[in-house]
Chain A
Amino acid sequence: MTALLEVEDLKVAYGKIEAVKGISFSVEAGQVVTLIGTNGAGKTTTLRTLSGLLKPLSGKITFDGKPLANVPAHKIVALGLAHSPEGRHIFPRLTIEENLQLGAYLRDDKEGIAKDIQHAYDLFPILGERRKQAAGTLSGGEQQMLAMGRAMMSQPKLLMLDEPSMGLSPIMMQKIMETIVELKSRGTTILLVEQNAQAALSLAAQGHVMEIGKIVLSGTGQDLLHDESVRKAYLGED
């Protein structure tokens, strides 16, 4: 079978500086795939290119059988690719409920939308309690929940999460990771970018280690978790 997302020899540059230097990987439907690596490895650049916010220099992106390379960002969502960006980027002056509704911007099924908003509140009860509150007043972890809930509102075929645990307290990080496990168990296909390599690899089917724009190591999550060089570089072991 063909993969849901296929990335071949993707290169992305900011001006003359190449941030992604020819990477290839794929995501099968129902899988959780993770990209790990240090700051500046090109993980976020990769996701922003996949969702159309950046234009690739060269390479091929195929999503659900269609080429993505020059499709504008707002049309990529319609194809079923949702992106919860790094730094959360909720709309601070809109309420939580309005943020979730914006996640469903392209949908017309009012009842379905209301149902999915309820699902988001079931998943994250704190959002339901504060639905009429401006999203900017939420804590970092709550904003992350909102960003994930909002991304799910488009009913994506593939959910891309960029650094969902960044800057969160250990308890909140735990909660976010549990949510990803929950989404995974519902069959959601996820491309996860994380600096918390331990957590990401332990729930991913496939993992890729990125270093300065390249994928230097690939394997199953379990393999990478037990790989010596990965343990040294990313899991803080000597």
Chain B
Amino acid sequence: MNELPQQLANGLILGAMYGLIAIGYTMVYGIVQLINFAHGEIFMIGGFGAFTITLWMPSSTPLLALIPMMLIFGIICSVLVGVAAERFAYRPLRGAPRLAPLITAIGLSLFLQQAVWFWYPDAKKDITFPQFSGDAIGILGANINRNDLFILIAAPLCMIALGWFVNKTRAGRGMQATAQDPDTAKLMGINTDRIIVMAFAIGAAFAAVAAIGYALHFGQVGFKMGFLMGLKAFTAAVLGGIGNIYGAMLGGIVLGLVEALSTGYIDQIPGLEQFGAQSWANVWAFALLILFLLFRPQGMLGERVADRA
């Protein structure tokens, strides 16, 4: 059986991906109270954007040199789709009953999946994504695959940048104000439409970063990759307390750790041997979601419902 440090590292890697994607769910929810179920597909499109770079560059280009271009182009693709979704699918429904944008989001999710399946060359099956070769690196007793260094470095950098943006810039302050009271935010002179677009764009950019981490980790991208990852990230956002950006990352990491530890240790509990397989990890993840919804629906760092005026 694997050692504890290894399981923790596995959980952290997966959790960092969940957390980065969860930021997009939580920011958008915090401002427009919409669960953007197409966010998993925005993540997927970031992965395809990054992969497209490998087709455009000479095959001799080292992967390390491709990474910055993958980041830029993957983020561009995700942000364009995310902002277009807001502008053309969600904004016209602002003020409509909440079910309307929710159904739109599910429809948009299916549309984006099918659009990639149909139009992207060879996307009908999983596409192999380039990976770094070389030995795993030992860190604190765990063997970290070189491909996972990307997400382990990118996720904390993204969180630091986001924390700085939200707390130290005028637009970030405007974003907090809009989340707390959109009408009053307008009275301060805040262009709340622009703030909403910004929330979608930041969420999409982070999803693209996560997608590159995912593609490097699993060595492939596919039109369906956003479905389960999106659902897990949504779970992470709820666990952390939806609307809370730090909660999203915390929820992601907790979810990743629960999955990794359940895979690693549940089968060592006498009587539960058959429940520890990898295929059961999803069951434990969603069981955790149900437990939270039952006993702490506001999540780990959730805001008290009372001051959501």
Give residues in A with beta carbon < 8 Å to B. 51-53, 72-75, 77-78, 82-83, 85, 89, 91-94, 98, 101-103, 105-106, 136, 150-151, 154
B186 touches A53 (CB 8 A): yes
A73 touches B186 (CB 8 A): yes
A102 touches B188 (CB 8 A): yes
Most buried by B among A74, A92, A106: A74
The list of the 7 closest CB pairs from A to B, nearest first, reads: A77-B189, A73-B186, A106-B189, A89-B184, A105-B188, A92-B307, A91-B180
A93 touches B189 (CB 8 A): no
Query: Which residues of chain B are within 8 angstroms of A106 by Cβ–Cβ distance?
Result: 188-189
Query: Which residues of chain A are within 8 angstroms of B176 by Cβ–Cβ distance?
Result: 91, 93-94
A103 in contact with B188 given A89-B309, A136-B307 (CB within 8 Å): yes
**Docked pose: A154 CA to B190 CA in angstroms:** 12
A-B contact pairs, 24 of them (CB 8 A): A72-B186, A72-B191, A73-B183, A73-B186, A74-B192, A77-B189, A82-B187, A85-B183, A85-B187, A89-B309, A93-B180, A93-B307, A94-B176, A98-B173, A102-B177, A102-B190, A103-B188, A105-B170, A105-B173, A105-B188, A105-B189, A150-B188, A151-B187, A154-B189
Q: How many residues belonging to B are interface residues under a CB distance threshold of 8 Å?
A: 20
Given contacts A77-B188, A105-B188, 19 further A-B contacts (CB under 8 A): A52-B186, A53-B186, A72-B186, A72-B191, A73-B183, A73-B186, A74-B190, A74-B192, A82-B187, A85-B187, A89-B184, A89-B309, A93-B307, A94-B173, A98-B173, A102-B174, A102-B185, A136-B307, A154-B189
Asked if B303 lies at the interface with its beta carbon under 8 angstroms from chain A, I say yes
Query: Which residues of chain A are within 8 angstroms of B188 by Cβ–Cβ distance?
Result: 74, 77, 102-103, 105-106, 150, 154
A105 touches B174 (CB 8 A): yes
Query: Which residues of chain B are within 8 angstroms of A51 by Cβ–Cβ distance?
Result: 187
**Docked pose: A85 CA to B309 CA in angstroms:** 14
Query: Which residues of chain A are within 8 angstroms of B177 by Cβ–Cβ distance?
Result: 91, 94, 102
Query: Which residues of chain B are within 8 angstroms of A92 by Cβ–Cβ distance?
Result: 180, 307, 309
Query: Which residues of chain A are within 8 angstroms of B170 by Cβ–Cβ distance?
Result: 105
Asked if B126 lies at the interface with its beta carbon under 8 angstroms from chain A, I say no
For residue A78, which residue of chain B has the nearest CB?
Answer: B189
A91 in contact with B186 given A102-B177, A136-B307 (CB within 8 Å): no
Query: Which residues of chain A are within 8 angstroms of B184 by Cβ–Cβ distance?
Result: 85, 89, 91
Q: Nearest Cβ distance between residue A220 and chain B, in whole angstroms?
A: 30
A94 touches B180 (CB 8 A): yes
For residue A75, which residue of chain B has the nearest CB?
Answer: B189
Asked if B267 lies at the interface with its beta carbon under 8 angstroms from chain A, I say no
**Docked pose: A106 CA to B21 CA in angstroms:** 32
**Docked pose: A52 CA to B184 CA in angstroms:** 11
Asked if B181 lies at the interface with its beta carbon under 8 angstroms from chain A, I say yes
Q: Nearest Cβ distance between residue A53 and chain B, in whole angstroms?
A: 6
